[in-house]
Amino acid sequence: MRPPPTAERVAEAMLLAAILAAPWPFGGAPDPARYALCAAALGACALATLARRETAVLTLRLGQAAALLPAWGLLQAALGRGAGWLAPAEAVLVLAAMLAVLVFWSGRGQDPRAADRLLAAVLLACAAQAVFGVVQAALAPQRVYGRASELVTAPFGSFVNHNHFAGLVEMGVVLAVGLTAARVRRDGTRPAALGLLGLALALLLAHLASGSRGGFVALLAGLGALAAAHVGRGGRSPRRVALASAAGLVALLAAGLALAPDTARVRLATLVSGRPDASASYRVEAARATLRLLAAHPVAGAGLGAFADTVTAWKRVHGEVRLTHAESDALELAAETGLVGLALLGVLAATWARGLGERLRRGRDPYRRDVAAAAACAAGALLVHSLFDFGLRLPALGLVCASLLGLAAAPPRDAPRLVRRRITRLATAGLLLVLALACAWRAEGARALDQARRIRDASTRAEALGALVARHPYLAEAWRERAIAVGGLASAEGALHPARAARAADDLVRALALRPSWAEAWADLAWVRQAGGDLAGSRHALDRARALDPTHLPMGLQNAELVFRLDGAKAAVAELARLRAVNPDWNPLEAVRRARRFTQDPALLADLSRK
């Protein structure tokens, strides 16, 4: 096997740096960080593709299988399914970046030194997050970087959601335990193995401290799969290996639970008691709404990335929270891509499993086979977690999971290889580079949008947003923000000037051309059209908003105000009654208080309080 070219080493360094950096900007969740990380990943993979002349046949097949799902997303974008072309196009950028990383490490992971560098980077990223998370939880709980928000209800580490912190760290726990077993099998109880065991215990403590119940279940699944893998390779005494594996895992978990905070143990105990809580109720309703969306688009799906805009029409309760993710990556992907997408995912999984099988069967180095098993089980823990969470949507978790999956499926060094034609390498690298530039452009637009949102003066903010949409006309959020800024510039009498109303309406129409199922933008358009005197257009937009998101409580209250202006008190009270029907937990006294702004008629108010 030839030494890797310098370009491939540079690509590796870029991806390792991305793994280390991704957790710190809130898990890479904000759009500027998300697309910047994806740009770096795609650019690194483009560089490696250009430099790599020979590729293992299994890696090449994995790359072909990985291209199918993004291609389906692009076809959905071209067809304008669900929420239009923009959401699938943006989702394809992120998905392509993660899959490109998987394919990269399938090839690069054949080099043992590169594999070791990846393992070290993953463990370092997990350890740094674990230390930061525990310290921050002790000094400033319910805060991230010292800041609190009503939307951040369960933060841990640099993640706004403790489940996502657990998703990262659980991969580190399983990986550290797997590497400990591999070292012990190869070298005995040397200091390196003991150090890895200590790291595994420290990561386990941080994981338990986060209080993530789904993460604990996923951790048990990952450790169980790891134990099963070692039992399967137990040689002449599988019973001894099984007993030793079970005893070791029980001791590790017992030590972790004994040292974990009392609050974490109490929360994890609810897994056994089975008592429902608000979180479980919300997740169940999210799953039901997602299944309704899937039933409406069973074959082709609602559109990759279109979940947030399309699922709202299928919600029945919890209107106080806008459902942006399904609380299950598996269900969300099924609803977005349909049976076609699941079939393409199955092709990718089968191709990956073949690569892992080749590594475990034909690999000559037992230690490297153990490393592959550890990487697969670590990534598998997050995949189990993704059944009841959406951690894979965060680049910090997606990068690590894709890297470990690629490493696990790296073919043996003596596997059959192909010399790739120059035109093929140029075309593939060119496509990846185009996607990288698109991500970089999207990241710059998101950064500029965040800056514009921080401008307090409405007139100055509208001017900044105007310059932004001139450079980035695909930013639906920027069009809506400018419409809101323009609509907020009312006259002293409280009326909106017709010219401003027309301008705001035009901006909202532009936003809806990009996101046609965006309920909030339709509600804004209804208000602007009413202010501009277009009552028929206002009613049409209002009906569209209610149909797209019938349970949205804050939006529904604003709609009731608009209905009062359009059709009077009786219609406004009827709108509040409808809102109460789809939000049974809404306090009826609050509904009556709202209704008194429209009427004092006892009959109408009594009717509302009875519903």
Collect all residues with Cβ–Cβ distance below 8 Å to 253 and sequence separation of at least 6: 204, 220, 223
In this predicted structure, the answer to whether residue 293 has a pLDDT above a threshold of 60 is yes
Average pLDDT, the chain: 89
| DSSP class per residue in 408-449 | HTPPPTTS-EEEPPHHHHHHHHHHHHHHHHHHHHHHHHHHHH
Write down the CATH number for the domain with range 468-610. Answer: 1.25.40.10
Please give the pLDDT value at position 611.
Answer: 52
Structure tokens given for 421 = 């034609």
pLDDT for 493 equals 42
DSSP class of residue 276?
-
Tokens of 176: 């550290």
In 131-193, the DSSP E strands lie at: none
Question: Would the pLDDT of 490 be above 50?
Answer: no
Q: What is the pLDDT of residue 204?
A: 95
Residue 407, pLDDT score: 97
Give me the phi and psi of 391, to 5 degrees please: -60, -30
| Beta partners for residue 154, in sequence order | 161
pLDDT at 603: 80
pLDDT digits (tens, 9 = 90+) for 99-141: 999 999 999 999 999 999 999 999 999 999 999 999 998 888 8
Q: Higher pLDDT residue, 172 or 413?
A: 172
C-alpha to C-alpha distance for 457 and 472, rounded to whole angstroms: 22
Q: Where are the domains of the chain?
A: 6-434, 468-610
In 113-202, which ranges are E strands?
Answer: none
Rounded to two decimals, the pTM is 0.93
- Give the type of residue at 546: R
Per DSSP, 2 falls in state P
Q: At residue 187, what is the residue type?
A: D
Higher-confidence residue: 40 or 607? 40
Locus of tokens 């070292």: 183
- 3 state SS of 285: helix
| Distance, CA of 241 to CA of 328 (rounded, Å) | 35
